[in-house]
Amino acid sequence: MIEIEHLTRRYGPRAVVDDVSLTVQQGEIVALVGTSGSGKTTLLRMINRLIEPSSGRVRIGGTDTATLPPHQLRRRIGYAIQGHGLFPHRSVAQNIATVPRLLGWDRARIEARVDELLDLFQLPPAEFRNRRPQELSGGQQQRVGVARALAARPELLLMDEPFGALDPVIRAQAQQDLRRIQRELGTTLLLVTHDMTEAMFLAHRIAVMDHGRLLQCAPAREILTRPASPLVQALAGETARPFHLLSLSQVADLAQPGHAEGPPITPDTSLRDALAQCLWSGRDALPVKGGGVVTLAALRRAAAGAVPR
Partner 1 sequence: MTGRVALAAAALLLAAFLISPDSFAPLLEPLTRRGAPAIYTQTSLWSLTVSHLALVAGAVAASAVIAVGLGVLVTRDSGRDFLPLARMVTAVGQTLPPVAVLALAVPVLGFGDWPTLLALFLYGLLPIFENTLAGLTTLPPQVVEAARGMGMTPAQRLWRVELPLALPVILSGVRLSAVIALSTAAIGSTVAAHTLGEVIIAGLLSSNTAFVVQGGAVIATLALLIDAGFRAAEAAARSRAGG
Q: Which residues would be at the binding site for partner 1 (CB under 8 A)? A: 48, 50, 70-76, 79, 81-89, 98-99, 102, 132-134, 145, 148
Helices (H) and strands (E) in the chain, counts: 15, 12
Q: How would DSSP label each residue in 183-240?
A: HHHT-EEEEE-S-HHHHHHH-SEEEEEETTEEEEEE-HHHHHHS-SSHHHHHHH-TTT
Give residue 107's identity as a one-letter amino acid code: R
Nearer to partner 1, 145 or 227 (CB): 145
Q: How far is the CB of 148 from partner 1 (least distance, A)?
A: 8
Please report how close the Cβ of residue 242 comes to partner 1 at its closest, in angstroms.
Answer: 37
Q: What string of DSSP letters covers 63-132?
A: EEGGGS-HHHHHHTEEEEETT----TTS-HHHHHTHHHHHTT--HHHHHHHHHHHHHHTT--HHHHTT--
Q: Provide the minimum distance between the beta carbon of 76 and partner 1 in the complex, in angstroms, as a whole number.
A: 8
**Minimum distance between the CB of residue 64 and partner 1, rounded to whole angstroms?**
18
The one-letter amino acid at 57 = R
Q: Which is nearer to partner 1, 146 or 254 (CB)?
A: 146
The residues near 141 (Cβ < 8 Å, ≥ 6 apart) are 84, 86, 133
* In the complex, minimum distance from the CB of residue 63 to partner 1, in angstroms, rounded to a whole number: 15
Q: CA 107, 113, 116 angle in degrees (round to 5)?
A: 140
Cβ-based nearer residue to partner 1, 34 or 133: 133
Q: Which is nearer to partner 1, 17 or 92 (CB)?
A: 92
CB closer to partner 1 out of 91 and 173:
91
C-beta of 148 vs 244, nearer to partner 1: 148
**DSSP-derived 3-state class of residue 38:** coil
Q: What is the spatial distance between Cα 79 and Cα 45, in angstroms, rounded to a whole number?
A: 10
Pick between residue 96 and residue 118 the one whose CB is nearest to partner 1: 96
> Smallest distance from the beta carbon of 85 to partner 1, in angstroms?
3
Query: In the bound complex, what is the minimum distance in angstroms from residue 102's beta carbon to partner 1?
Result: 6
Q: Angle CA(31)–CA(77)–CA(171) in degrees, nearest 5?
A: 45
Question: Which residues are within 8 A (CB) of 250 and not within 5 positions of it... i.e. 6 or more apart?
Answer: 267, 268, 269, 270, 271
Longest dimension (CA), the chain: 66
